[in-house]
Amino acid sequence: MRTYDDAPMLTRVAVLAYHSSPLAEPGSGDAGGMTVYVRQLAEAHERMGIYTDIFTRATGPGGAIVSLSDKVRVISIQAGPARALPKEQLPEYLEDFAIGVRAFSTMQRVTYDVVHSHYWQSGIAGASLARALGVPLVHSQHTLGRVKNTFLAPGDAPESQARLDGEHRLIDEADVLIASTDEEWSQLSCLYGAPHDRIKTIHPGVDHHVFHPGDRLQARAELGVSPDDAVMLYVGRIQPLKGLDLAVRAAYEVLPALDRDLTFLMVGGASGSSGERELDRIVKLIESLGLRDHVRLVGSEPHRRLPTYYRAADVLTVCSHSESFGLAAIEASACGTPVIATAVGGLSYIVRDGRSGFLLNERDPVAFASRLKTLLSDQTLWREFSLSASGAASLFSWDVTASTFVELYECLARDLAPEACTC
C-alpha cells in the first residue's frame, strides 16, 4: 500500500467469488446478480486506479489467469475436482481454495490491502485468507439463508444448516458486513445478531453508459418482436425462488383484456437441478394455459445484450419470493422500462410504486394482471412511468458505489476499529 502524508492509498483488492465465476454469463447456472456486481465494482475501481484480482474455483483442468482489463484479473484456483459441482458439495473444498489463493499471492509476490468476499462460502475462505495476509475482511452476503427460508417458494428445498452456521460464523469473523439496503441491514442485525457498528449499507449501482433509454422499435426489430405487441419481460435465472409462475398466470389473465397481442420474453437459464425442474414446470404451465404462441424462452444472453431486451419491453416483471436488491429491476428502469414486482427486499428502493412501476404485497395473478393492464393499455401513463423509472435509476451508479467502498477499505487499512469505518 502506498502512503502519502500518512494517508494510506488503496492499490490492490483480493475479491473472492468462490462458487460462481465472474467469467460466466449472468442468468446461466449459478451466475446472477452477484456476477454483475463483482465485475461492475472491479471495473469502477479500475477507473480509480485500483487493481482487482478476482479469485474463483477452477472448474476445468489447470489454473488460469484471465485479464478482463489492464487492472482486473480473474484467477481460477484448483480446489476439489476440476469440474462444476453442486453448490452443496463446495464447502468441503474451502480450505483448499484459501490455501491456493495464499500460494498464488506468495508465488506472484502480490500483496493485497483488503479481502472482499461475496456469498457465505467465499466468506469462510476469506476469513482464513484475511487472517493469513493480515488484512481486513469485508463481506457481502448477497442473499441470506434465514431470509430465503422464511420466504421459501412452494416445493423448494430450505437452505442447509451448514449455510446458516457459516453465515453466523461470518458475523463474528468479518470486519465489516455489507448490506445492500436498510432492510438487509435490519435482517443482519435482527436475524443474525450482527453488531450494528459492524454493518454498512452500500447500494449496488448501474452502468448508465450501457443501460439507458433507446429506440424501442429498433430494439424490437433486432429481437424479431412485432412493434404493435404488448411486451412483458423477465430477466434472471430460472429457479423456484424467482416465482415465474406468477408472471405466467398474470400473462394469461391479462391477455383477453388487451386490445393487442402479447409477447412474453423470458431471458435466463435454469440454475442447478431445482432450476431444471422449475423450467420444466414453467413450460408445462405455459402449455396448459395455451400461451405457447405468446411466450418465448430465450435462454441466457450476454449481459451486453440485455439493454436491447429492456428497451423492447413495455414492462419488466419481477415475481421473486425474496430478493436482496434486484439488479435487473434497476437496469430496466435505467432503460426507461417500468417494473411490476413483488414488494420484497431491495425492490422498494428501485420501484416508485404508482410512479415508475407497481409493487404488489400479494402473490395474486389477478391483481398482478390488473397492474399490467393499467400500464399496457395507457400509452400516456406508460410514458410518465418510463420517465420516472429512468429518473429513479439515475440515483444509482457503480462509480458512487465504488467510491464508498474505497473509503471503507482505506479506513479499515488505517488499522482503525471497524466501527469507526461504518458510520
If asked whether residues 314 and 181 sit together in one domain, one would say no
If asked whether residues 112 and 132 sit together in one domain, one would say yes
* Radius of gyration of the chain from its Cα atoms, rounded to whole angstroms: 22
Q: Return the higher-pLDDT residue of 19 and 235.
A: 235
Which residues sit opposite 354 in a β-bridge? Answer: none
Residue 248 structural domain: 216-393
Contacts of 251 (CB under 8 A, 6+ apart): 232, 262, 264, 291, 294, 295, 369, 372
If asked whether residues 157 and 259 sit together in one domain, one would say no
Work out whether the CA dihedral 188, 271, 338, 367 comes out positive or negative: negative
If asked whether residues 169 and 242 sit together in one domain, one would say no
If asked whether residues 365 and 412 sit together in one domain, one would say no
At 254, give phi and psi (nearest 5°): -85, -25
* Burial class of residue 6 in the structure, from the number of CB atoms within 10 Å of its CB (0-12 exposed, 13-18 middle, 19+ buried): exposed
- Residue 278 domain-assigned (yes or no): yes
- Residue 370 domain-assigned (yes or no): yes
Percentage of the chain modeled with pLDDT above 90: 78
- Residue 36 domain-assigned (yes or no): yes
pLDDT of 247 reads: 97
Work out whether the CA dihedral 412, 19, 131, 101 comes out positive or negative: negative
- Residue 244 domain-assigned (yes or no): yes
- Give the number of other CB atoms < 10 A from CB of residue 267: 23
Contacts of 187 (CB under 8 A, 6+ apart): 144, 146, 147, 179
pLDDT digits (tens, 9 = 90+) for 339-360: 999 999 888 889 999 999 999 9
pLDDT digits (tens, 9 = 90+) for 91-135: 999 999 999 999 999 999 999 999 999 999 999 999 999 999 999
What's the pTM?
0.91
Angle at 344 between CA 126 and CA 353, to 5 degrees: 130
- The residue behind cell 456469498 is 119
- Residue 211 domain-assigned (yes or no): no
For range 214-226, the mean pLDDT: 97
pLDDT of 197 over the 50 cut: yes
pLDDT digits (tens, 9 = 90+) for 287-303: 999 999 999 999 989 99
If asked whether residues 251 and 160 sit together in one domain, one would say no
